[in-house]
Amino acid sequence: MGHETKPVWRALVVGPVSVALAVALSGCGNTTAPGSVGQSTPPATTSTSPAETSAATTAPSKTLTGIPVYWIADSRHSFSLYREFREVPDTGGPIASAVSAMTSLKPLDPDYMTPWRPASRVAVSQKGDAITVDLSSDAFSNTQVGSELADRAVQQLIYTATAAALKAGTPAATVKITVDGAAIDVWGVMRLGEAMQRAPVSAVQAYTWVTSPQQGEDLPAGTVTFTGFGTAFEANFLWEVSNDSGAVVAKGFTMGGTGDGKFGDFTFTAKLTTGTYSVKVSGSDGSGGAEGPGPAVDDKTFTVH
C-alpha cells in the first residue's frame, strides 16, 4: 500500500456498469470526524487499512480477478464499510470499471448493501493524485437515502476509486464527483463537485471484519486459516465456527487492534472436514452489554471439500 509512482494523466472509460476494484490507500489516520464526507488535505502516508492488494491479473476474456469492492452494512447502530474481492468484467480501465461495478453489482454477503443504482455512464480521469469521477444522474435514482447513508455512500465511492487507482499503479489522494459534468445536490442531502478524500478507518470502516474466507468461498478440507481486521476492547475478538446444522465445531479468541480505536489484523485456524460452515467473529466494545452500541460482528458462510 502507498507505493510511489510517477503522476500520469489517465483518461478512462465511458462504459456499461460492471467491475469493481479497490486497493487500500493510505490516509486512514486522519482526524476527520465520524460522519464527515471528506477533507481537503492529503492523507497520511501510513495506512491502517487491511491489505487490499492481490495477485489478480487481467484474463484474456477481459475480466479482472481478485478485485476489491466496498459495500455498506449496518454495524453497531451505524453504517460501516466492508470489502469483497470479486471477479468482474473489465469495462475500460481499473478506476471506471471499479466504480461502475460498485453501482451495479450485488454483494456476495447478504448482510451488505449499497444505496447506489446502476450508472449508465461512468467517466473517469486522473491527473497526478487527483481523480475526477463523472456519473450519470441515474446512479442517484434511489430516493431512500438519508444524510448518514449518503455520507457512507460517497466514502464507498472514494475508497473504491482510490483503491482502484493504487492497484493500477497511479495512487490518488482526492476524488471529485460530478454528475453529468456538473456540481450538483444529490439525494436531497449532499452537494458534490469538490475534491474529497478518504475518511479515517475509525470513522467509516467496520470494527470487526472477516476478510477471509469470503461469503460462499470453497476451501480444501484440513486446517482452514481465517483472517480479519478491526479493533476491539483489550484487542480481543471471539470467534466460533458452526456447521450447517448450527452446532459449534470450533471456537476461541484471537487478538487484533486495540480498544482505543487502533485497527489491526487478526488470524486463527480451525481443522474442518467436508461440509458447509459459518464463521462468526465478535469484537467486544467493553461495555458488557450495559451501554454503548454493543459488539461489532461479522460472519461468513463457506464450504469445505
Task: Please give the C-alpha separations between residue 274 and each of 145, 162, 242, 278, 288, in angstroms, as whole numbers.
Answer: 42, 39, 13, 13, 36
Same domain, 55 and 190: yes
Query: Does residue 8 have a pLDDT over 60?
Result: no
Assess contact for 296 and 285: CB atoms under 8 A: yes
In this prediction, residue 303 has a pLDDT band, given cuts at 50, 70 and 90, of very high
Residue 242 covered by a domain: yes
CA atoms in the 13 A half-sphere facing the CB of 32:
27
The tally of domains found in the chain comes to: 2
pLDDT for the residue numbered 164: 86
Same domain, 72 and 98: yes
Block residue for cell numbers 430516493: 143
Average pLDDT value for the chain: 82
Residue 145 covered by a domain: yes
3-state secondary structure of 154: helix
Residues spanned by the domain of 27: 9-201
Same domain, 116 and 148: yes
Same domain, 78 and 13: yes
Neighbours of 70 (CB within 10 A): 28
Same domain, 297 and 154: no
pLDDT for the residue numbered 28: 35
Distance of CA 290 to the CA centre of its chain: 30
Tens digit of each residue's pLDDT (9 = 90 or more) over 23-41: 333 333 333 333 334 433 3
Nearest-angstrom CA–CA distance, 153 and 156: 5
Tens digit of each residue's pLDDT (9 = 90 or more) over 155-211: 999 999 998 888 889 999 999 999 999 999 999 999 999 999 999 999 999 999 999
Query: Does residue 292 have a pLDDT over 80?
Result: no
Tens digit of each residue's pLDDT (9 = 90 or more) over 40-53: 333 333 345 676 65
Same domain, 218 and 108: no
Task: Please give the C-alpha separations between residue 11 and each of 56, 94, 179, 200, 213, in angstroms, as whole numbers.
Answer: 23, 11, 17, 28, 35
Same domain, 154 and 43: yes
Same domain, 293 and 251: yes
Residue 15 covered by a domain: yes
Residue 280 covered by a domain: yes
215-233 mean pLDDT: 96
Same domain, 101 and 33: yes
What are the cell numbers at 94? Answer: 481499473
Give the residue from 201, 216, 231 where a domain finishes: 201
pLDDT for the residue numbered 120: 95
Give the residue from 201, 216, 251 where a domain finishes: 201
Same domain, 80 and 148: yes
45: burial class by Cβ within 10 Å (0-12, 13-18, 19+)? exposed
Same domain, 158 and 267: no
pLDDT for the residue numbered 260: 77
Same domain, 109 and 31: yes
Nearest-angstrom CA–CA distance, 163 and 205: 14
